[in-house]
Amino acid sequence: MNKSDRANIIIDALNEAYPETPIPLDHKDIYTLLIAVLLSAQCTDKRVNEVTPELFAMASDPFAMTKLSVESIYEIIKPCGLGPKKSKAISNLSHTLVYEYDQKVPESFEALEQLPGVGHKTASVVMSQGFGHPAFPVDTHIHRLAHRWGLSNGKNVQKTEKDLKNIFPESDWSRLHLQIIYWGREHCQARACYGLECYICKSCYPRRKTPVKHKRG
C-alpha cells in the first residue's frame, strides 16, 4: 500500500468520524483566537477555555489588553503554563497591534510571525481558522500520527508539514488539521495504540506487529 492509498483511507475515515470540525478554542473574533492559540502552547484546549473567559472579560481587544499590566495578565493565565513568557507576549503583541496595525490582526503569515510570541504554528492556525486561508498547522498529535500512518518520516514538525501538504489537496488542509487532532485525542493517543490498535493504523498497516517509535517534533 502506497502513501496515496493510505491517504485515501485516512480521508474517508476522518470524514466519517468528523463531518463537522468545530474550532476547539473558544473565541469571539480573530484577536481572541490569536490569544487563545498562543496560550495553547504546551497546554490543553480545555484549560485554555477555562482561563480565557476571565481574561477576555477584562480585555477582549488589543487596546484594552495594553491597559493591563503584564503581572495581571500572568495571574489569570498562569494555569496554562509558561505564564511569564506568555503574559509578556500577549502584552507586547497587543501593543504592536495597537500602534502598528490599528488594532487589526494582520492577514499574512509574514506579519503574524513577526508578532511577539507568535511562531509558525500559531500563525498557521490563525490564518486557517481565523482568516480561512489554506494552512496545515502541525502539532504533536499530527506529528505523531503522520509517522504512525506512514505519511512522513520527518524528524521535526516543519518536515512533517511539508510532507502532508504534498500528500493532501490544499482544499483539505484546514479540515484535516482539526480532524487529525480529534482522532489523535480520541483514538490514537500518545500512550495508546502505538500504531497497532486504532482503525486507521490497522487499515493502513494490517500486518504491522511492532509498535511505532515516535520521532520528536
pLDDT at position 1: 86
Task: Report how far residue 78's alpha carbon sits from residue 133's, in angstroms, rounded to the nearest whole number.
Answer: 31
Number of H helices, E strands in the chain: 12, 0
Residue whose C-alpha is closest to residue 179's, from 40, 25, 18: 18
Domain boundaries, the chain: 3-20+136-204, 30-130
Distance (Å, rounded) from C-alpha 151 to C-alpha 21?
22
Q: Across residues 187-209, what is the average pLDDT?
A: 95
Hey, which residues are catalytic here?
A: 121, 139
> What pLDDT is attached to residue 140?
86
Has residue 131 got a pLDDT over 70? yes
Is residue 43 within 8 A of residue 80, CB to CB? The reply is: yes
Q: CATH says 3-20+136-204 is which class? A: mainly alpha
Q: What is the mean pLDDT of residues 83-111?
A: 97
CATH of 30-130, one of 2.40.37.20, 3.40.640.10, 1.10.340.30, 1.10.645.10: 1.10.340.30
Tens digit of each residue's pLDDT (9 = 90 or more) over 30-84? 999 999 999 999 999 999 999 999 999 999 999 999 999 999 999 999 999 999 9
Percentage with pLDDT > 70 across the chain: 99
Cβ partners under 8 Å of residue 168, min gap 6: 7, 11, 136, 176
Cα(41)–Cα(53) distance, integer angstroms:
18
- What value does the mean pLDDT of the chain take? 95
CA 109 to chain CA centroid, Å, is 15
Residue 41 in grid coordinates: 502552547
Question: Which amino acid, one-letter code, is at 7?
Answer: A
DSSP annotation of 126 reads I
Task: Examine domains 3-20+136-204 and 30-130 and report if their fold is the same.
Answer: no
